Amino acid sequence: MVLACAVLITVAGVAVGPHGREALFAVDRERIDVDLDLSPGAQRTEVYDSVGNEIGILRYDIDRQLVKISEVPDEVLATLLAVEDNKFWTHNGVDIRAISRAMIQNLTSGAITQGGSTITQQIVKLRVVGNESSFSRKIREAVLAARLEEEFSKEEILEFYLNEIYFGNGAYGLQAAAETYFGKNANQLDVGDAAFLAGLIRSPGIYDGFGDVEIVGKRRSMSLQSALDAEIISIEERDRFEQRGLPDRNRSPQRTDEALRKDYFLDEVTEALLAHPALGETYQERFAQVYNGGLRVWTTFDPSLQRHMEAAVNGVLPEGTGDFEIAVASVDPSTGAVRAFIGGPEFADFQFNLVTQGKRQPGSSFKTYVLAAAIEKGGLFPFDTISGLGPCTFPNPPNVDYEVSNFNENDGVVGTLQYAVLKSSNCGFVRLGLRTGLDNVVEVANRLLGRDSEDSFRPYLSISLGAQEVTPLEQAVAYAAIANGGLRMEPFFISKIENSSGSVLYQHVPRGRRAIKATTAAWVSEVLANNVTAGTGRRAGLESGQPSAGKTGTAQDFSDAWYVGFTPHLSTAVWMGHPEEKVSMTDIQGRDGTGGWIPARVWGAYMTSALEQEEIIPFPKAPPPQRNSQLLYLADETCSVDIDLGLERGPMKFDLPCAMAQVDLEAGTFLPHPEANCKMTELSKTGVYRNEYLNCGLVPSRNPVTTTTEPINEDPNGA
């Protein structure tokens, strides 16, 4: 019957149209050759957090989410069919009466003025034959519609149609239309909603901008009348729907739900998707998948941690941060999952992620890596001693000497490496870096922070004081490696990707590599845990009693302030500074902006609430040491000892080779070794000054005139 009808239409077309013979050929050829594909069109990608809440939608110019026909209310389907194709369930792709009526009208007018197309024909028009106004196109459309009905069920055809059709304002398919115009899901639509949407199908652009109320209102009225005629609704229901206001704005959750707005985390996820090899070999392939492929993406984002994080910042800084910003990043040490972060001010205003892009000087928080290198590569221990006396000067050829002062110009003391961490001794850590070997410091820091040869740190003297820049995420991941027994887990944002049909394209498997030995990690953890209880990190202590470990950092002139720390559950880095340039923070709540002031308090407040329901877990115990403490010093370095010459003369400094010095830990000073010789310059009876070496213990009995720093193996009789 369909073919007979097509032939009749074709004959009529031969009489009135110049392309009739071509149409006859198309009937024969396309009936066999044309590929009819009902695969879905471009679809938006949906992004979910770690507990399954939707946090973002990624799309380019098409907003489409597939809906199953079983999810659409029966009366909504009936209304759409009453308006668009009331013989859908009974025809074979072509409505003979509708086509005949349209053909007569078109022949009379000499042009295509009526359609009479079924839903099946509309699909063919969308997918194969296009919009050309000709009898040839209509014939091809009818023939292919008949074939489509042979190859697919009515349910498949209708479901495809509901997901393919354009409803205006960027909404493709019934689900996107329900969201755009009513702010609801397709399964929540009623007949009134369906009548409105049915009125848009033939001219979807008519209501773009929500302006042409009169025409859209008339179309809805016509659709409601069709529903009444089909006995879907009563007269009373029709009148009630007529009184309902028309949609006046875009109500899509993408516009109204703040949780779905583009933010720093969603932006990082997007960038990760666009670089993901599972989505294609080229950027163009990946772009098409991300924005048009209908992916479902599960991320590592933890919304509860994000709320705790934001609350902590607001609690510590209720008056706001002024010209400065805070960036915070939290990582799961055992997997590398990036759980939450604050990337900067409002994303719409800034769009520069301080957590992943903001490279800043870490200050003393970098000393953790120097300590790890000293233990890992130098065979040293936290109970070994080193001079933290300052100011201190180090040769730096071919440049000028490197001059260092301790924080607040403090004189410093001689003490253990643990004590150097507690006091964040600058002179002590520059000496420790040199004693360990700067190349070793670079190697360990690169491993912990995930740097390769292209962005490697440089073995400069200033590396031990954090002069080379890092990001908050790098810091959180590096400290997480220490919390994880020295195993650095690669950070990630995406846990799973599914395509539009539900097939898994990617499932994340945590990947790690050993950055430092477990014993090194245990020693460093112990030192940093002590820093929280007795050092610069005291304000970061957790109220629950959960042990934590961390280190403060303050860059020169208070331009960057850090606190980076961890528990076995979570590693978090907090940075504060100006988002665009180096600006001194000299009055933050009445104090200089050090890492131990604002960042440590933010860290403590956040981690206290974040871990409130977590079990208290202690850190692994460091292994018992295999030797006693030793004094660490550099080649050719001298150590100054004070020798009391009595009430009248007082103390006098003598510079000894450090090998001939001992440490008084209580006083934080050097003492001469029992066998050390002190060099004295005396005036002889003949009036000549001469040098004499005397056991340092005997010096108080003599009356030295002056002291020098010359080596003790020099000829004592020299002039």
Which burial class, exposed, middle or buried, applies to 407 when counting CB atoms under 10 A from its CB (0-12, 13-18, 19+)?
middle
Written as six digits, the tokens of 2 are 């369909």
Asked whether 450 and 492 are in contact (CB, 8 A), the reply is: no
Asked whether 640 and 633 are in contact (CB, 8 A), the reply is: no
Domains, the chain, in order of start with CATH, read 1-33+81-164 (1.10.3810.10), 167-259 (1.10.3810.10), 635-701 (no CATH)
Note the residue count of the chain: 719
Alpha carbon distances (Å) from 583 to 77, 325, 328: 63, 11, 19
Strands (DSSP E) along 4-159, which ranges?
Answer: 45-48, 54-58, 63-64
Residue 713 pLDDT: 38
Whole-number Å distance between alpha carbons of 483 and 511: 16
Spatial neighbors of 24 by CB under 8 A, at least 6 apart, are: 10, 14
Beta carbons within 10 angstroms of residue 616's beta carbon: 13
Written as six digits, the tokens of 468 are 């080379």
| Per-residue model confidence as pLDDT tens digits over 79-114 | 999 999 999 999 998 887 766 666 666 556 554 434
Q: Which amino acid is at 569?
A: H
Written as six digits, the tokens of 405 are 């002062």
H or E stretch covering 691: strand 689-695
Strands (DSSP E) along 535-649, which ranges?
Answer: 549-554, 560-566, 571-577, 631-632, 638-644
How does strand 494-498 pair with strand 571-577? unpaired
Beta carbons within 10 angstroms of residue 167's beta carbon: 23
Residue 61 pLDDT: 82
| Per-residue model confidence as pLDDT tens digits over 506-523 | 999 999 999 999 999 999
Asked whether 99 and 216 are in contact (CB, 8 A), the reply is: no
Q: Could you say which residues of the chain have pLDDT below 70?
A: 1-33, 98-116, 131-135, 258-259, 684, 703-719
Sheet with 494-498: strands ordered across: 54-58, 45-48, 296-299, 494-498, 504-507
H or E stretch covering 171: strand 171-172
How many Cα neighbours within 13 Å face the side chain of 223?
31
Strands (DSSP E) along 179-335, which ranges?
Answer: 296-299, 325-331
Residue 477 pLDDT: 98
Residue 3 pLDDT: 54
Tokens 């003297």 locate to 461
Written as six digits, the tokens of 633 are 């010093």
The residues that bridge with 329 in the sheet, in sequence order, are 341, 573
How does strand 549-554 pair with strand 296-299? unpaired
Whole-number Å distance between alpha carbons of 321 and 591: 14
Residue 257 pLDDT: 75
Residue 114 pLDDT: 45
pTM for this predicted structure = 0.84
Residue 133 pLDDT: 64
Whole-number Å distance between alpha carbons of 535 and 418: 10
Mean pLDDT of all residues in the chain?
89
Residue of 266, 261, 239 whose CA lies nearest to 48: 266
Whole-number Å distance between alpha carbons of 68 and 74: 12
Apex 148 CA angle, 142 and 151, nearest 5: 150
Alpha carbon distances (Å) from 44 to 38, 50, 176, 239, 254: 18, 20, 10, 36, 11
Which burial class, exposed, middle or buried, applies to 544 when counting CB atoms under 10 A from its CB (0-12, 13-18, 19+)?
middle
Written as six digits, the tokens of 252 are 């899509």
